[in-house]
Amino acid sequence: MTNELLKETIRLAMLEDIGHGDITSLLTVPEDSEAKARITAKEDFVLAGMPFVKEVFDAIDTSVAVRVSVQEGAAVKKGEVIAEISGNARSLLAGERISLNILQRISGIATMTRAYVEKVSGLPVKIADTRKTTPGMRFMEKYGVKIGGGVNHRFGLYDGILIKDNHIKIAGGVGKAVGLTKNARHLLKIEVEVKNFDELREALNAGADVIMLDNMSVDEMKEAVTIAKGRAVIEASGNVNLENIRGIAETGTDIISIGALTHSARAVDISMKII
C-alpha cells in the first residue's frame, strides 16, 4: 500500500505543478538539451528523502540519472553538495520544485526528530510520531521520523487499536471500551488514552496493553508509572517540547509521542542549480 500511496502522491504533485506542461521551459529550453544540476544544502540539517527525489525524476523521465553523494540520516553542512542530477534539461526543470519540496520537508522532520532523540540519549525511551501528518504525505513524513532516529506509531486507523477520549465517551467508559476490543478476534495490541489515575487503573484492570498518559504533568507521569508497575507499556503524550522531554523521559515512561515531529517541523533550505 505504501508504494501505491507514494506513486499516487507524486502523480498528484506532478498534476498540481506541471499540469499539461512547463510552459516556460517549453518556450526557452530546446527539446533535446542535456544538463546537469547540483542539489546543495543552504543550512545544516539531517538529510532524509533522497529516495523520493529519485522517484519524482523517474516518474517524469526514466532516463534522468540521480547520483547521491550523502547518505540518508547524515548530518549535512551548509554548502555541501547532496546530489548531482543529469539528463534532459526540460525534465530536470520539471522535477525541480516537486523534488525540493519533498526533500526540504522530510529533511526538516528528520532534523527535528534527531534533536528530540539526542535530548533523551542514554535513556530507555522511544520517540514516536503520530497521525498528525500532511494528507497524502504520511508515508514520507513517517519515513523522515525513522531516519531521524524516532519510531513510527500506527500508520493509520486500520493497523492499530488506540482508544481515545471520544471512543471512551461513546462506549461508556474506559473498561467498556477495552472490553469491546478484547472481545473481537484480532492480534493487535490494545492502547487506551487516559487523563487521570482513575482511568489509568480502569485501563490496567481491563487488560490494556499500552496506556497513553494524555497531558499529564511530570509528577503525575511518575506516579502513573509506579501504579502501572510494568503491567502495561506506558506512553506519554501532549505538550512535549525540547525543554521538558528529558524530564518526561526520566519518569520511566516507555514511549513519548510527539505530534510536532510531523505537523510543526520547519522545512530546511535546499537548492538545485544547473551547472
Q: 176 an active-site residue? A: no
Long-range pairs for 155-164: beta carbons < 8 A, 24 or more residues apart: 156/131, 157/131, 159/188, 160/188, 160/189, 160/191, 161/186, 161/188, 161/189, 161/190, 161/191, 162/191, 162/192, 162/193, 162/212, 163/190, 163/191, 163/192, 163/193, 163/208, 164/193
Q: Which of 38, 54, 97, 131 is catalytic?
A: 97
Q: 193 an active-site residue? A: yes
Residues 257, 236 contacting (CB under 8 angstroms) = yes
Q: 114 an active-site residue? A: no
Q: 54 an active-site residue? A: no
**How many whole angstroms from its chain centre is CA 208?**
26
| Listed residue (275, 268, 229) closest to 252, CA to CA | 229
Strand partners, 212: 193, 235
Contacts of 24 (CB under 8 A, 6+ apart): none
Q: Which of 164, 169, 182, 266 is catalytic?
A: 164
Return the ∠ at Cα 80 (arms to 69 and 18), rounded to 5°.
Answer: 75
Q: Which of 72, 193, 202, 235 is catalytic?
A: 193
Q: 7 an active-site residue? A: no
Q: Which of 17, 84, 214, 269 is catalytic?
A: 214
Q: Which of 132, 222, 231, 246 is catalytic?
A: 132
Element (H, E) at 272: strand 270-274
What angle, 0 to 180 degrees and rounded to 10, lies between the N-to-C axes of helices 197-206 and 174-182? 20
- How many Å apart are CA 197 and CA 5, to the nearest integer? 40
Which residues are identified as catalytic?
A: 97, 132, 164, 193, 214
